[in-house]
């Protein structure tokens, strides 16, 4: 036993000596870690270095007249949506590289006609693609008009997406807009939601009569399904219209719809709300109400989806999106706003646009870059601020979600 004990002691001594002589720098250590990684956005905006867990927004390059956004490719697994021009994700612990792609569409021109409604001529913009698979009625908000929808950039993007996906589009306006008067004395120019009767309710009657004129002209036929989409008050009317005529779906932007219609409708309904909606008729309560209605509809077996447009940063070129400003002008406006404290260190706009509007109104000379813009250009700047803040404004950030809802509802 002694020789074995001696060998064991020698072996242990050698092991211990070897271990004690080994340099500490030779020990195995974990690889260095980082709390920040890079995002590379090709054909778009949002590139930069972000900490793990940050919310990262990416945006595609703007499209031209006969183009639509196609999709994101590359490291798309973290993305909220790979087919919306603006999307976001939570920064993972790795670098992200994505590429935005744009595709051309067949050129088309919206047509215009004055069509006799129930009581008077109505302005109507329309387009029926050959072989169209559905008809979408687009509905303006309070104090809006058919012409205002046609002039709205976010609506233009929606119309292009609809037509390129083989949907016909019909745009008209509420009777109060055409008359130019508040007929029911509610203090607003907007659609009539009641009575829920397709003859005595002039707005519902006008939709029926205008559509019949297209049927009679052979531009479409009664077997083609119909859909409605509206912003704000147009969202309320979208729900009423879809319910009255049993459309296939209704999509409502910045609108929860009325309790009366939501309590009885069997029409699949999608709500697209704005996170920081500052409209006193909607606001946080309206957003919460829309979510409640969506859950209630699903609980009744009626397909419903709910989306909420989040606040997003302003990249320097953002004000040039609609083509009214050059990229250089956009960058100059961005720099002016940031230098005066309206944009924070992460490029988020602080507060709402009304603060800036008030400051500018008090001292235009204090904002020489913005002051030099045309009225149309100033309108574009304010629109992008409202969109970035996620205020009460029509937005194109869920165009593909709306198209998918039209195409398949909840399937």
Task: Give the pLDDT confidence of 118-161 residue by residue, as tens digits.
Answer: 999 999 999 999 999 999 999 999 999 999 999 999 999 999 99
What is the band of 21 on the pLDDT scale with cuts at 50, 70, 90? very low
Of 33-37, 101-105, 112-116, 397-401, the poorest mean pLDDT is in 33-37
Please tell me the pTM assigned to this model.
0.90
d(CA 343, CA 337): 6
Instruction: Specify the DSSP element, H or E, that contains 291.
Output: helix 283-299
The mean pLDDT of the chain is 93
Confidence at 196, pLDDT banded by 50, 70, 90: confident
User: What is residue 33's predicted lDDT score, i.e. its pLDDT?
Assistant: 62
Peptide bond into 156 cis (omega under 30): no
Over residues 254-277, the pLDDT tens digits come to: 999 999 999 999 999 999 999 999
Is the confidence at residue 14, as pLDDT, over 60? no
Summarize pLDDT for 345-372 with one digit per residue, the tens. Answer: 999 999 999 999 999 999 999 999 999 9
Q: Please provide the size of the chain in residues.
A: 411
- Given a cut of 80, is residue 89 above it in pLDDT? yes
Residue closest to 225 by CA, chosen among 246, 196, 243: 246
Q: What percent of the chain has pLDDT over 90?
A: 91
Contact call for residues 130 and 181 (beta carbons, < 8 A):
no
Per residue in 96-113, pLDDT (tens digit) is 999 999 999 999 999 999
Residue 15 predicted with pLDDT over 80:
no
- For every residue of 63-82, which 3-state class applies, written as one string? CCCCEEEEEEEECCCCCCCC
């Amino acid at each position: 036993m002694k020789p074995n004990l001696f060998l064991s002691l020698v072996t242990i001594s050698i092991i211990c000596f070897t271990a004690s002589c080994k340099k500490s720098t030779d020990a195995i250590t974990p690889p260095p870690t980082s709390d920040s990684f890079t995002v590379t956005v090709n054909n778009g905006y949002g590139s930069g270095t972000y900490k793990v867990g940050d919310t990262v927004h990416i945006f595609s390059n703007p499209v031209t007249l006969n183009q639509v956004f196609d999709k994101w490719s590359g490291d798309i697994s973290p993305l909220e949506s790979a087919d919306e021009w603006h999307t976001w994700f939570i920064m993972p612990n790795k670098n992200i590289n994505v590429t935005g792609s744009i595709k051309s569409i067949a050129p088309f021109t919206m047509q215009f006609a004055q069509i006799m409604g129930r009581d008077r001529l109505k302005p109507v913009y329309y387009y029926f693609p050959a072989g169209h698979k559905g008809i979408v009625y687009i509905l303006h908000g309070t104090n809006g008009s058919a012409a205002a929808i046609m002039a709205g950039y976010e609506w233009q993007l929606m119309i292009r997406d609809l037509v390129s996906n083989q949907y016909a589009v019909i745009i008209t306006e509420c009777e109060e807009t055409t008359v130019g008067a508040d007929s029911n004395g509610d203090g607003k120019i907007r659609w009539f939601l009641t009575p829920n009767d397709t003859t005595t309710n002039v707005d519902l009657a006008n939709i029926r009569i205008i559509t019949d004129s297209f049927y009679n002209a052979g531009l479409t036929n009664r077997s083609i399904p119909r859909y409605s989409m509206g912003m704000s008050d147009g969202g309320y009317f979208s729900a009423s219209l879809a319910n009255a005529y049993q459309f296939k779906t209704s999509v409502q932007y910045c609108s929860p719809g009325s309790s009366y219609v939501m309590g009885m409708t069997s029409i699949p309904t999608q709500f697209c709300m704005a996170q920081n909606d500052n409209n006193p008729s909607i606001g946080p309560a309206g957003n919460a109400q829309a979510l409640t209605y969506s859950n209630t509809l699903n609980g009744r077996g009626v397909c419903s989806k709910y989306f909420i447009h989040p606040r997003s940063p302003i990249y320097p070129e953002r004000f040039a999106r609609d083509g009214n400003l050059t990229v250089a002008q956009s960058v100059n406006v961005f720099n002016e706003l940031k230098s005066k404290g309206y944009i924070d260190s992460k490029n988020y706009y602080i507060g709402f646009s009304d603060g800036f509007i008030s400051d500018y109104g008090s001292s235009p000379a204090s904002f020489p870059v913005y002051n030099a813009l045309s009225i149309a250009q100033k309108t574009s700047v304010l629109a992008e601020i409202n969109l970035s803040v996620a205020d009460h404004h029509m937005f194109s950030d869920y165009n593909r979600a709306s198209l998918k809802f039209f195409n398949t509802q909840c399937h």
